[in-house]
Structure 1
Amino acid sequence: MSSNDQGLTGQGRVTVFAMFGTAFGYSTHHLDERRIGDVAVIGPLTPGVEWPRLWQMARTCGRPAAKDTELARWILIQATRAFVCGSNRIAQFHDQGWTLEPGGKRVTFEATYANRDHLWTGNLAVDGLSPDQVAERPSHYRT
């Protein structure tokens, strides 16, 4: 795991989903010319919510002794569930611009997990989202 000292801009598939009342975005990034989306990019979209909130959710919902790699798997599976099953999906875009701000956290998986080798989290912005799509939502659960 490492910190993300540089920002990142991309264009591609983006899933916007709600979890515990917060809107998050999920996209992928490619590290080489194969373009296999080996990096999952996930971050909060709700104004005023910072990326550590995502890790706090994973810590609250995971095992008390979980290490960052296990927490990263929990984060990735929540985003994958929204993408595949539509669970709490707010929007799905096939070709949308996004920006991951500098800062955040990067984790490399020991083995490919949910078709990804890395998870990069940070504060995320997705082009063209309406205030309604990123607004805080009611939730039965709080973490």
Structure 2
Amino acid sequence: MVEFTARSFGFEEDEDDEVLEVGVAESADGGGVVLLIQRATYDPDEQDVNLGLDSYCLVSDGRTHYGGVVRAARVGEELQLDMSSEAADTLDLDARVRIRLDGPEEQVEVFFRGLRTVLDWGRSADRPEMVGF
């Protein structure tokens, strides 16, 4: 299991790239372990579906995987993500990641609401079990 404290985290809508995104970084300057989870702000078209791009995507260290979160659990200010072995291999992470969010309560709440919005989108087979949200 990978465990770290995220000193930088957030949720945003990027209108230029047409994505909703949550992200965590181990360091306040955006360094260390970094994990982004994104989804489009528009409905996927036939080409997106055919290419498997009709789900959220996980991004870490320049690697991307569509879908792959099996379970997302919130306990207070901690997030535990359980990923498929394929997602973990692609991202070069352990299949289980535990992240403690170190920041103001309001920012933590915005992050978790955003995470739910991002993960609860796209093809139903990729939507994870959500616990504690």
**TM-score when normalising by structure 1:** 0.30
Higher relative contact order (CA 8 A, sep 6+): 1
